[in-house]
Amino acid sequence: MTKPLLPGISTTKMVEGVFAVNKPKSISSAQVLRDIQHSFNRSALFAPWLDAERTRRVQESKRQQQRRRDKRIQVKLGHGGTLDPMATGVLIVGVGKGTKRLQDFLTCTKTYEATVLFGAATDTYDVLGKVLSKAPYTHLSRENVEAALNKFRGSITQKPPLYSALRMDGKRLYEYAREGKEIPREIQERPVTTENLELREWLPGGCHPYTWPDEEADEEEKLVADKVLHLDVASEDAKNDLSSIDNTLDADLTQGTKRRREIEDEDGAEIGITPARKRQAICPAPIMSGARQESGSSDCVTAPAARTLPPAETQMSLEDLPSTGKPPAARLSMTVTSGFYVRSLCHDLGQEVGSLGIMSELVRTRQADFELGRNVLEYDDLCKAENVWAPLLVQVLDDWQGKMAKKSEEDAPDHNVSLEPS
């Protein structure tokens, strides 16, 4: 069937470059790319790119063809920094040779708006996790939260959450958490910079829609929190059981027996994943917002004072909570460097003000030169008919290529950026 021509748009030009899409809530970054790819594969706009790719595949050696895992011919896409499924906002997308430029976006600054809900801590540091502990919050006010933010401005160090994509001994941290296994060693704090951090809005209890998760962690899951996150939330009986396990392990190691210890539910299910969350396991796990892969940076920065959970006697159970009081929340805005975890900020801020905190909402409003409301395409538009999204996409890609050409001339006049097929 002949594909429809687009008025005013060439369907013989090779379309490549970088653009941004406004990622909706409750969908993974990978799924956004799959949906966009589905639209592009069927379009007239990307027909020249697909034809060129078919020609290139035919010219490949047999060895190259055998090594290719995915034999399908599809428009090549990639993203420049993933967002958690619960997050919304700017998701950078590279198409064709534009994917080679995505590394530039992993190291740029990003701007976020986040809402922290006080009074509870979860294993994931956000409202999608299981509640590990609760703490008082009636003493909180806009003034003491604003004062606490000073500790998180400028050059600081930050410990990534256990549910993150950083690797330790070749395995991602979230894989240890899902399997209920202890990590091989302490998660190290990492240097990050908060260029701007402001309290945009104070939300008193009962004046906002945010609530704690309904599900609480069981004793075994709290044991993992004790060992990995140093949260004093497990019962004494459970701690004694863990101590007995540690003594047995030490004896085995003394005898030269190598054993990998796992902490699992009785039915062997992965700890920390409810049935609803297991369905998300096919997509990339919660990954840091504004993230980068673990690096060997040895920059020396001053770390904030160590923060721990409130003493056990001040922690609260569901029965101890006020019958009418509801926890307050705060809406923050921040501009941060690569590697910054907004979830860690919410967790640490809660402890800093003598309570607990979890991230309940996150929007990435800007990444590099892409900003919501200015030059970011809407996800819903990209899923509509081609005559809706094609003109918008072509305009954004043309603008981006114009900026790259200008930057190339300024940096190296004799070197031109080219996205034309070679």
Render pLDDT for 306-315 as a digit per residue (tens, 0 to 9): 444 455 444 5
Q: State the CB neighbour count (10 A cutoff) for residue 134.
A: 22
Averaged over 61-68, what is the pLDDT?
80
Averaged over 325-344, what is the pLDDT?
95
Residue 361 confidence (pLDDT): 98
Written as six digits, the tokens of 342 are 């907004």
Q: Distance (Å, rounded) from C-alpha 372 to C-alpha 212?
A: 28
**Pairing verdict, β 154-158 and 171-172:** unpaired
Higher pLDDT, 144 or 302: 144
Residue 222 confidence (pLDDT): 83
Which has the minimum average pLDDT: 161-165, 207-211, 322-326, 352-356?
A: 322-326
- Residue 43 above 90 pLDDT? yes
- Residue 85 above 50 pLDDT? yes
The vertex-268 CA angle with 162 and 167, nearest 5°, equals: 25
Split at pLDDT 50, 70, 90, the class of 231 is low
- Residue 120 above 50 pLDDT? yes
Averaged over 354-381, what is the pLDDT?
97
Higher pLDDT, 251 or 234: 234
Residue 60 confidence (pLDDT): 80
Which has the minimum average pLDDT: 18-32, 117-131, 157-171, 372-386?
A: 157-171
- Residue 295 above 70 pLDDT? no
- Residue 299 above 90 pLDDT? no
Averaged over 382-391, what is the pLDDT?
96
Which has the minimum average pLDDT: 207-211, 212-216, 256-260, 388-392?
A: 256-260
Split at pLDDT 50, 70, 90, the class of 261 is very low
Residue 328 confidence (pLDDT): 98
Averaged over 262-268, what is the pLDDT?
24
User: pLDDT tens for residues 121-172?
Assistant: 998 999 999 999 999 999 999 999 999 999 999 999 998 887 777 777 777 7
Residue 345 confidence (pLDDT): 97
**Residue 369: active-site member:** no
| Three-state SS sequence of the chain | CCCCCCCCCCCCCCCCEEEEEEECCCCCHHHHHHHHHHHHHCCCCCHHHHHHHHHHHHCCCHHHHHHCCCCCCCCCEEECCCCCCCCEEEEEEEEHHHHHHCHHHHCCCEEEEEEEEECEEECCCECCCCEEEECCCCCCCHHHHHHHHHHHCEEEEECCCCCCCCEECCEEHHHHHHHCCCCCCCCCCEEEEEEEEEEEEEECCCCCCCCCCCCECCHHHHHHHHHHCCCCCCCHHHHHHHHHHHHHHHHHHHCCCCCCCCCCCCCCCCCCCCHHHHHHHHCCCCCCCCCCCCCCCCCCCCCCCCCCCCCHHHCECHHHCCCCCCCCEEEEEEEECCCCCHHHHHHHHHHHCCCCEEEEEEEEEEECCEECCCCCEEHHHHCCCHHHHHHHHHHHHHHHHHHHHHHHHHHCCCCCCCCCCC
Higher pLDDT, 195 or 172: 195
Averaged over 205-212, what is the pLDDT?
96
Residue with tokens 């770390």: 303
Higher pLDDT, 108 or 314: 108
Q: Which of 35, 84, 226, 399 is catalytic?
A: 84
Split at pLDDT 50, 70, 90, the class of 367 is very high
Averaged over 7-27, what is the pLDDT?
85
User: pLDDT tens for residues 173-189?
Assistant: 777 777 777 777 777 88
Which phi and psi (to 5°) does residue 133 adopt? Answer: -165, 160
- Residue 95 above 60 pLDDT? yes
Q: pLDDT > 90: what percent of the chain?
A: 53
CA distances to 197, 247, 256 from 84, rounded to whole Å, are: 21, 39, 42
* Residues sharing a CB contact under 8 Å with residue 342, sequence separation 6 or more, in sequence order: 112, 114, 289, 290, 334, 336, 359, 362
CB-CB contact of 100 with 199 (8 Å): no
Residue 416 confidence (pLDDT): 54
Residue 96 confidence (pLDDT): 96
- Residue 283 above 60 pLDDT? no
Q: pLDDT > 70: what percent of the chain?
A: 71
